[in-house]
């Protein structure tokens, strides 16, 4: 992949990609490369914003180094082998509706959700809300026709190509398939977000662990 890289102010570059998959893979490659002078990376659905220390590098040098970054796919042997484990109770209000949309039984849906590694592609909507992409083929689920005014904290949900965990009670229109007690956002933790962009997760069936 060859991103379109442009200057974004005096201490940042903006790299634009064709797909979200490319963004995730390139960010993983950046982490592995540990480019000198880079002080922060912010992920978007099609972009990566790279902040740099102008006393350590400059836009021209950093742009040249980016051409040597080798993307890392989630299934690549170089990827982190110890994803964060999130136990889930699969009793969500939309579990049967999702089964009807996909033609899957409850058991098949749970097996699909737990049988893959998820990567936080980017964060948004609320502090700690991570848009997770999986290694298995996406179900590409539609959002609910009517959003809920209050989705409970810890609700595990699906929409489009993503899965997510609601970090706090908030409105939401995603399909709810379960719940977890693992906090996605905590000011007692550094960083507060459990799954900032680039972090890998694996959901496990809490009922199977008990």
**Residue 76 belongs to a domain:** no
pLDDT of residue 120: 94
**Residue 27 belongs to a domain:** yes
Percent residues over pLDDT 70 in the chain: 95
- Are 94 and 181 in the same domain? yes
Percent residues over pLDDT 90 in the chain: 85
- Angle between helix axes 95-102 and 106-114 (nearest 10 degrees) is 90
- Are 185 and 97 in the same domain? yes
**Residue 75 belongs to a domain:** no
Domain that holds residue 186: 84-209
Torsion, CA 142, CA 147, CA 151, CA 156, rounded to 10: 0
CB-hemisphere CA count at 13 Å for 76? Answer: 15
79 pLDDT exceeds 70? no
- Are 189 and 141 in the same domain? yes
Q: How confident is the model at residue 74 (pLDDT cuts 50, 70, 90)?
A: low
Concatenating the DSSP letter of every residue in 115-161 gives SS-EEEEEE-SSTT-EEEEESSPP--BPPPSS-EEEEPTTEEEEEBT
**Residue 79 belongs to a domain:** no
- Are 62 and 88 in the same domain? no
**Residue 78 belongs to a domain:** no
- Are 101 and 49 in the same domain? no
81 pLDDT exceeds 70? no
pLDDT of residue 82: 82
- Are 192 and 97 in the same domain? yes
Structural domain count of the chain: 2
pLDDT tens-digit profile of 89-141? 999 999 999 999 999 999 999 999 999 999 999 999 999 999 999 999 999 99
Q: How confident is the model at residue 77 (pLDDT cuts 50, 70, 90)?
A: very low
CATH at residue 53: 3.30.1360.40
Model's pTM, two decimal places? 0.86
- Are 102 and 205 in the same domain? yes
CA–CA separation, 107 and 162 (whole Å): 19
pLDDT tens-digit profile of 6-58? 999 999 999 999 999 999 999 999 988 989 999 999 999 999 999 999 999 99
Residue 27 and residue 41 in contact, taking contact as beta carbons nearer than 8 Å: yes
* pLDDT, mean over the chain: 92
Mean pLDDT, rounded, for 71-82: 63
Give the 3-state secondary structure of residue 194: coil
- Are 94 and 185 in the same domain? yes
- Are 165 and 124 in the same domain? yes
Residue 119 and residue 200 in contact, taking contact as beta carbons nearer than 8 Å: yes
CATH at residue 99: 2.40.100.10
**Residue 77 belongs to a domain:** no
pLDDT tens-digit profile of 134-185? 999 999 999 999 999 999 999 999 999 999 999 999 999 999 999 999 999 9
- Are 91 and 41 in the same domain? no
- Are 113 and 24 in the same domain? no
CA–CA separation, 169 and 159 (whole Å): 18
Mean pLDDT, rounded, for 62-77: 81
- Are 41 and 106 in the same domain? no
CA–CA separation, 181 and 21 (whole Å): 29
């Amino acid at each position: 992949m060859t991103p379109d890289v442009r200057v974004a102010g005096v201490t940042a570059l903006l790299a634009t990609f064709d797909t979200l998959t490319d963004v995730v893979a390139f960010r993983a490659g950046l982490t592995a490369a540990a480019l000198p002078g880079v002080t922060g990376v912010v992920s978007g659905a099609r972009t990566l914003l790279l902040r740099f220390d102008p006393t350590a590098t400059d836009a021209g040098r950093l742009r040249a180094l980016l051409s040597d970054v080798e993307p890392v796919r989630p299934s690549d042997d170089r990827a982190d082998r110890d994803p964060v484990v999130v136990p889930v109770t699969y009793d969500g209000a939309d579990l049967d509706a999702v089964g009807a949309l996909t033609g899957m039984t409850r058991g098949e849906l749970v097996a699909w959700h737990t049988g893959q590694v998820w990567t936080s592609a980017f964060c948004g909507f609320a502090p700690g809300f991570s848009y997770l992409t999986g290694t298995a083929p996406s179900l590409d689920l539609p959002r609910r026709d009517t959003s809920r005014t209050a989705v409970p904290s810890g609700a595990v949900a699906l929409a489009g190509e993503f899965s997510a965990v609601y970090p706090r009670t908030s409105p939401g229109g995603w399909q709810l398939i379960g719940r977890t007690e693992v906090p996605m956002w905590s000011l007692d933790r550094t960083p507060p977000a459990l799954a900032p962009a680039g972090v890998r997760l694996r959901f496990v069936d809490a009922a199977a662990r008990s």
